[in-house]
Structure 1
């Protein structure tokens, strides 16, 4: 009988441990750092996913949120694909400046204004660059 109790206790412990691990891994799945968000934004822009850029990457708090649609991405600087991020290890701050290269310019400084929607879930609220000024209003 004692052996059976020991097996039951070990199985109970493993079940509780598994539940804790699963719940903790779910939290990490909902986290997007500033670095990840900016790189995912440019990856989707380069891939032509203009119909989902606003919903996936732009904060609803952005002044331009309601006017951003698929046509928005076909104007001005956004057509200069492919874009690449030259800055590595972008910190989780509400304002970050990164170096961007696209088909007509290299090493341009772009400033991203970020919103942290949930704990460690960052979205883009606004974007400025050194040439064109405000690209997405905060």
Structure 2
């Protein structure tokens, strides 16, 4: 939740610097984008942990808890496959960014590896949360209390 306040503060500074000082801050838009990346990639696993993610309830709502657990475990396995592939590519991209000192093509030209590291951290947290959800679903299928 606080990530949004950080992003709003950055964009507010951008607006104020353009109006009051008549000097645009070239870094503000890119830093706001980086803050948004951190917000949704680190916030995603947290929303799944709280159970506040959105599900299509057309058929799902009428199913029994056990059938929901079967479907959820299947979809979590697909999600885990996707996250593993994404994490593999992300780690490779971080290695490339560090090796060649990759920079953004903007006027400010910040290094790219820190934001890529935050992205990989968020993907890793999502993978851990997916494993947790899979364990919970297997426990529901086997009718075991956690």
TM-score by length of 1: 0.32
Greater RCO (Cα-Cα under 8 Å, separation 6 or more): 2
- Higher share of residues assigned helix: 2
